[in-house]
């Protein structure tokens, strides 16, 4: 009982610390100081431009924080894609492979962090739903919206999308989704180490097959 009460007390303290407004005071431990200096170039502009709604006096400015956060995400995303493209050109990696590996991992880190946070709070259903819903949002909104804006600015000219083995990659993606559902059902709808290992293996298979399709090691019978 005492151990359980102690764990609940630590969890409550962690939640209180997370809900506190951001402080830029110099940390006490060396590890926190290293992290402080590492993330300062990102945190400082956000602290200067976005009202911290955890402060009582700034709660009414939540629309400004929400819209400003979206603008910052757009800016960071542009820089990430630009830098990844330059790195790929420098070391001789195609854009498709960079998108399947570096950019895919970079854009999934925020989803990973949010899923871990809600899972630690006991909201496993929300974590799983977030991982699935974010990908659906990317496909149905994240891709069409920029294409629509690009087309509108150029007199509704269609956007040409071409990739080696694109059709087979889409079919493979649907198969991966089917295997994911089967794997979760086989593990009795519980998050376990076995399920995690299966997920890693499915991603590895998808990555290898997709790269082989892009490099024409495997020829897709349907070309687009």
- How confident is the model over 111-154, as pLDDT tens digits? 888 888 888 888 878 887 887 787 788 888 888 888 898 899 88
Q: Which of 145, 161, 177 is the last residue before a domain boundary? A: 161
Helix (H, G, I), strand (E, B) or coil at 153: helix
- 184 and 211 in a single domain? The answer is yes
- 36 and 82 in a single domain? The answer is yes
Residue 6 lies in a domain: no
In this structure, is the dihedral angle defined by the CA atoms of residues 157, 103, 139 and 72, taken in order, positive or negative? negative
- How confident is the model over 33-54, as pLDDT tens digits? 898 899 898 899 999 999 988 8
- pTM (global) more than 0.75: no
Angle at 182 between CA 176 and CA 183, to 5 degrees: 85
- 197 and 211 in a single domain? The answer is yes
- 111 and 169 in a single domain? The answer is no
- How confident is the model over 166-189, as pLDDT tens digits? 778 788 888 888 888 898 889 888
Pairwise CA distance, residues 18 & 54, whole Å: 10
Residue 14 lies in a domain: no
Band the pLDDT of 156: cuts 50, 70, 90: confident
In this structure, is the dihedral angle defined by the CA atoms of residues 172, 101, 118 and 186, taken in order, positive or negative? positive
- 71 and 108 in a single domain? The answer is no
Give the residue numbers spanning the domain of 44. Answer: 26-92
108 contacts 214 by C-beta, under 8 angstroms? no
Total domains in the chain come to 3
Q: Which of 92, 112, 130 is the last residue before a domain boundary? A: 92
Residue 133 lies in a domain: yes
């Amino acid at each position: 009982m005492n151990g359980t009460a102690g764990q609940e007390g630590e969890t409550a303290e962690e939640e209180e610390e997370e809900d506190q407004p951001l402080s830029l005071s110099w940390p006490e431990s060396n590890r926190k100081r290293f992290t402080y200096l590492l993330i300062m170039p990102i945190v400082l502009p956000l602290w200067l431009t976005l009202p911290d709604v955890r402060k009582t006096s700034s709660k009414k400015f939540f629309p400004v924080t929400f819209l400003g956060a979206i603008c910052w995400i757009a800016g960071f995303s542009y820089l990430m894609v630009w830098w990844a493209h330059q790195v790929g050109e420098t070391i001789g990696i195609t854009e498709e492979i960079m998108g399947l590996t570096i950019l895919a991992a970079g854009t999934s880190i925020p989803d990973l962090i949010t899923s871990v946070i809600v899972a630690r709070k006991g909201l496993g259903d929300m974590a799983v739903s977030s991982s699935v819903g974010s990908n659906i949002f990317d496909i149905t909104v994240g891709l069409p919206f920029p294409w629509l804006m690009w087309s509108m600015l150029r007199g509704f000219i269609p956007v040409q999308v071409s990739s080696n083995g694109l059709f087979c990659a889409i079919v493979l993606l649907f198969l991966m989704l089917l295997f994911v559902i089967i794997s979760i059902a086989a593990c009795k709808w519980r998050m376990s180490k076995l399920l995690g290992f299966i997920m890693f293996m499915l991603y590895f298979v998808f990555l290898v097959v997709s790269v082989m399709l892009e490099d024409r090691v495997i020829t897709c019978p349907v070309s687009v």
